Structure 1
């Protein structure tokens, strides 16, 4: 079973972000509950302190995990923890854009605890890739940032690299592109944040 967690304010049409499956388990984090209701998307669990919800009265018809507004973890972090109790295949929708950039940084750190997590919105997909050969088919911009100091080789890219030592905070690998339909990222050591962004 795949778990899809919706977080933050989502304004794009769902078909621009993901194709939901009938078997998906859907978690709404606080404000995302309103978005899912408006788009007639089934909800299996609602997580949050519900301080920003418009349709609070409808919560009685859903399974909820009500959180204390005074807490050490974000609503999204708790929702992701719940998601990984259900499945190792978890997608976080949203949580990338918005006025609260600190929440995006907190969501990025979730990949450290949950390396198989994928974060997507209508424009971008963020994942963590590890040692080995990683096949890339994205038609957009491809950016890499070191999660830990890494040695990488890029094949089939506009800007190829051969055993380049990519250290943390090195911005060299921003906005690369494939020269054909498939590219390869080889990581000899370390791990990288992979960001695929539509043109």
Structure 2
């Protein structure tokens, strides 16, 4: 099972959502993202939000079409996206994709990127990624991973999320590394590229943000 979550980020940064309409995909709306989904004739199974970013008319449009609507007061401990993500993780999916989570306010962007670490914290097996028109972002803990070439997102960056990332090794990349220690704040691993169809990256300690981008 795949769960796609659409938040209320700028529509100009959304990818073509028709590429993610798999048969086993469940759609979840977050705040204004619910309205964005309905405009594209995608009815979410469930929706979360305080809905302070939609008009009265838009909220009525949403309420008429979404059966399971979780409405919250704006004053709460979790963001709307975190509430939706926690629900999604409890469904034990194989993958969770976050859309509409970039652009606009930087505090929302940083919060949404940090939410990608939740499966590691809760020891859930779901793969989770954040996708917009230009980027695909995911987070990895220690291990060895194969990464496949994507022609539409040729740049690959590795950004430490923790204070230190130990023994980072990049194989099959234009700029390879072997057992390097990378500290938070380092830009050493920005805008790398694969030499062929596949490459590998590995490290023994820390957490990495992996960003795949195009101009």
Provide the secondary structure at the position in 1 that maps to 2:97: strand
Deviation at 1:87, TM superposition (A): 2.4
Is 1:154 paired with 2:170? yes
What's the C-alpha RMSD, in Å, of the aligned pairs? 1.8
Q: Distance between the aligned counterparts of 1:97 and 1:130, measured in 2?
A: 26
Describe the SS at the equivalent of 1:80. helix
Match of 2:114 among 78, 92, 109: 109
In the alignment, what sits opposite 1:132? 143
CA contact (8 A) 1:49 1:69 kept: yes
Within the alignment, does 1:76 sit opposite 2:90 as a pair? no
- Label 1:118 to 1:13 Cα distance change in 2 as closer, same or farther (>3 A): closer
* Match for residue 121 of structure 1 among 108, 119, 132: 132
Task: Deviation per CA, 1:81-109: give whole Å up to 9, x if none.
Answer: 111111242111121222x0000111111
- Which residue in the other structure is 2:199 paired with? 183
User: How does the TM-score come out when normalised to structure 1?
Assistant: 0.91
Q: Which of these residues, 95, 99, 103, is aligned with residue 101 of structure 2? A: 95
SS in 2 for 1:11: helix
Give the deviation of 1:12 after TM superposition: 5.1
- CA deviation after TM superposition for structure 1 residue 132, in Å: 2.3
How many residue pairs match? The answer is 198
Gaps of 5+ in 2: 121-126
Q: 1:24 to 1:67 in 2, by over 3 A?
A: same
Deviates more, 1:154-163 or 1:179-188: 179-188
In structure 2, distance between residues paired with 1:153 and 1:133: 9
Change (3 A) 1:18 1:119: farther
Does the 8 Å CA contact 2:13/2:103 hold for their aligned counterparts? no
Query: Contact conserved, 2:15 with 2:131, CA < 8 A, in 1?
Result: no
Calculate the TM-score normalised by the size of structure 2.
Answer: 0.85
- 1:33 matched to which residue of 2? 34
